[in-house]
Structure 1
Amino acid sequence: MGRHKQPQIRQRLLEACTDHALAHGLPDRLEPLAAAAGTSARMLIYHFGTRDGLLRAVLGQARRRQLEMFSDLLQARSDEPYPATLYRAWTEMTGPRGRPYLRMFGQLRESAEQQLWPGFRREATTDWLAPLEHGLRSIGRPGLATLVLAVIRGLIMDLDATGDTARTDQAFRDFLATMTVGPVETGVDLPER
């Protein structure tokens, strides 16, 4: 009689593999993940079926973590105008806590690994629209969600290509300042990073 898979062991392995992949990127082989999880490649296959099965699980786990962290950052707060919330979210998303996610999912977008998550590009765009619309509703501008998301995505690509945090931060600050002109004036003075 064979052993029964234990979900808590699978989850512990998944957490360790996800931590490693966020820190170092998606590996070409199982051995780095096995070493990070303190197990063997054979045990990873036992719990996840295939290398691709493990990588899909790692990507899914990383995406859940990212959505939880970033969605919380995009929530409107009663103690600050929403453009200030967006700027704070931007600095977290592009700062040390957010960069591993941007790196991992950027690697996914640019590689042949797209077969691991065929609809990723669409999901990575549309899943941010609802939290942005909700937050922007607090300043009467929910229709700007697509524009805000496009600016964020473009500036993230710029930051990834150039590493110029000061310039991209200033560009985002300048963009947010334009949001306060129009039907809703918030008078937001955005802080420096």
Structure 2
Amino acid sequence: MGRHRQPEIRDRILDACVDHALAHGLPARLEPLAVASGTSTRMLIYHFGTRDALLREILGRARRRQREVFGALVAPRPDEPYPDTLRRAWRVMTGPVGRPYLSMFGRLREDAEQQLWPGFRREATTDWLHPFEEGMRSLGRPELGTLVLAVVRGLIMDIEATGEVARADRAFDDFLAALDGVTAGSGPGGAQEAAPGR
């Protein structure tokens, strides 16, 4: 009679594999993941089936982690103007906490790894649109969520290509200053709302 798989062990192994992949990238072989998770390649196959199946699960869990972290960062706060929220979120997303996710999913956008997650490029765009629309809704301009998303993604790709974080930071600050000008008076407490009789 075969052994029953233990979900808690599988879950612990997967978390360790995700930690390793975020720190070092997706490996070409199973051995680094086995070492990182304190198990053997045989047990990885037992729990996950194939290398590609394990890599897909690693990507899925890492993406959930990223959505939780980044989603909380870009969510509008009642006591903070949304451009300030975006400024703080940008610093975390492109700093030590966020960069492993950006590196992992930046590589996934490249053709070499598309077989692991077909359609990722589209999903990676659309899954962040709603959070930015909700944030911009706090300024009365939810339709500008697309613009915010495009700028964030473009500057992240710039950082990945050039490594010039300071230049991208300046560009994002310039964008936020322009955004302040575009949305002035359209959000809660803005000039349009404050003016009597309007």
Over alpha carbons, which structure has the higher Rg? 2
Q: Deviations over 1:129-152 (max 9, x none)?
A: 111111110111110111111111
Contact 1:62 1:101 in 2 (8 A): yes
Q: In the alignment, what sits opposite 1:72?
A: 72
What secondary structure does 2:95 align onto? coil
Please report the TM-score for the alignment, with normalisation by the length of structure 1: 0.94
Q: Which residue of 2 aligns with 1:55?
A: 55
- Give the conservation status (yes or no) of the 8 Å contact 1:75–1:131: yes
Distance 1:182 1:135 in 2: 15
- Per-residue CA deviations over 1:45-100 (Å, capped at 9, x if unaligned) read 00001000000000001000000000000111122100110111111110000000
Unaligned runs of 5+ in 2: 188-198
How far apart in 1 are the matches of 2:96 and 2:26? 18
Cα contact 1:22–1:104 (8 A) shared by 2 = yes
Partner of 2:184: 184
| Structure 2 partner of 1:14 | 14
SS of residue paired to 1:182: helix
SS in structure 1 at match of 2:78: coil
What is the TM-score when the length of structure 2 is the normalising length? 0.91
Measure the CA separation in 2 of the matches of 1:111 and 1:31. 24
Letter in 2 for 1:48: F
Structure 1 residue 184, shift from structure 2 partner: 3.0
**Could you tell me which residue of structure 1 aligns to residue 191 of structure 2?**
none
Q: Distance in 1 between matches of 2:112 and 2:162?
A: 23
2:118 corresponding residue in structure 1: 118
Higher RCO (CA-CA < 8 Å; seq separation 6+): 1
What SS class does the counterpart of residue 4 from structure 1 fall into?
Answer: coil
Deviation by residue 1:11-30 (Cα, 9 ceiling, x = unmatched): 00000000000000000000
Check whether the contact 1:10–1:47 (CA below 8 A) recurs between aligned residues.
Answer: yes
Offset of residue 111 of structure 1:
4.2
Match of 1:190 in 2: none
Are the equivalent residues in 2 in contact too, given 1:140–1:184 (CA < 8 A)? no
Provide the C-alpha distance between the structure 2 equivalents of 1:51 and 1:183, rounded to a whole number of angstroms. 48
C-alpha distance in structure 2 between counterparts of 1:65 and 1:148, whole Å: 22
Determine the structure 2 residue equivalent to 1:144.
144
Structure 1 vs Structure 2 CA RMSD: 1.3
Deviation at 1:161, TM superposition (A): 1.4
Please report how far the alpha carbon of residue 164 of structure 1 lies from its aligned counterpart in structure 2 after TM superposition: 1.3
Q: How does 1:169-180 map to 2 (within 5 A)?
A: 169-180=169-180
Runs (4 or more) in structure 1 with deviation over 2 Å come to 182-186
1:124-177 per-residue CA deviation (whole Å, 9 max, x = no partner) reads 110001111111101111101111111111100111111111110010010111
Structure 1: state its 5+ residue gaps: 187-193
